[in-house]
Chains A and B, each alone.
Chain A
Amino acid sequence: MCDIPSCLTNVCVLYFAKSAELSGVREELLQVDTPINSQDLWTRLLGLRVLQGHVVLAVRHQYVAIDDQEALTLRDGDEVAVVPPLSGG
């Protein structure tokens, strides 16, 4: 049985709307394990507790639910967006 090798990678977290107000920043660089599940990634993002349950992430422009089910493979320079409920249109 083989273990999936884990390493560190640098991603750019983008904050939008309410999450930008809560975090106080629009973007930050983060060093994270890869692979990582979205729940663990979420715990690295501070100050966003009030959004819990009503927020998703977007990794490489694909929506990702915040749970511990699926491992995300992140690459150096990837964008991870914090996506509060949408209100376009």
Chain B
Amino acid sequence: MSSQSPPLGASKKGRDIFKLSHHRLSVEDVVAAVGSASCGAISLFIGTTREDQSESGKVIGLEYEAYEPMVQSELAELCRRLRARWPDLAHICVHHRLGWVRVGEASVVAAVSSPHRHDGQRALVCLLDGLKANVPVWKKEVYEDRKASWKENAECAWASCHGNHDAQTMIGQ
């Protein structure tokens, strides 16, 4: 899925660019997507796959899946809220992996451009919080012994660990 929204109106020319990909993400592509001559700042986040330990041994990778049409609509709504809160934002870009992601690889790359850094940095934090809370993507940790478990974001309102923002827990094996 690849999406680019039209300009928001006569006085707003911000782009919201989303992409789900089964291939390695390019940080350069995401940065290029938000570049703008009017911006003094690009705020960038790269989420990478950690080599966590569990009773089943080391994590060897993550498997991602998504409800793709609804990823599109939820990200669009999220960007609408970000732009309402920070009207000076220029462009927003999110690229997210699907399928198998090895330890060390990027699973999400997100960038926001803005005239000055404060708005962009704050918007980026909210973008990531919103992504984790509302965008229908799921990841399964796969371990050395080939066992696997579905993760839950604490930000998600119906997660069993909701409210504990430092924890992610496994759902029933």
- Using a CB–CB distance below 8 Å, which chain A residues touch chain B? 14, 16-18, 50-51, 53-56, 58, 61, 63, 81, 83-89
10 new A-B contacts at CB < 8 Å, known A58-B67, A86-B156: A18-B138, A18-B171, A55-B158, A61-B74, A63-B134, A81-B67, A86-B135, A86-B159, A88-B132, A89-B137
Is B27 an interface residue when CB atoms closer than 8 A count as contact? no
How far in angstroms is the closest Cβ of chain B from A3? 33
User: Which residue of chain A has the shortest Cβ distance to B72 in the bound complex?
Assistant: A61
Q: Which residues on A sit within 8 Å (CB–CB) of B128?
A: 89
- Using a CB–CB distance below 8 Å, which chain B residues touch chain A? 47, 64-67, 69-71, 73-74, 96, 108, 128, 131-140, 150-153, 155-156, 158-160, 168, 171-172
Give the top 8 A-B pairs by smallest Cβ distance, nearest first: A88-B137, A17-B138, A85-B159, A85-B152, A87-B151, A89-B131, A89-B132, A86-B156
Asked whether A86 lies within 8 Å of B47 as measured between CB atoms, the reply is no
Q: Which residues on B sit within 8 Å (CB–CB) of A89?
A: 47, 96, 108, 128, 131-132, 135, 137, 153
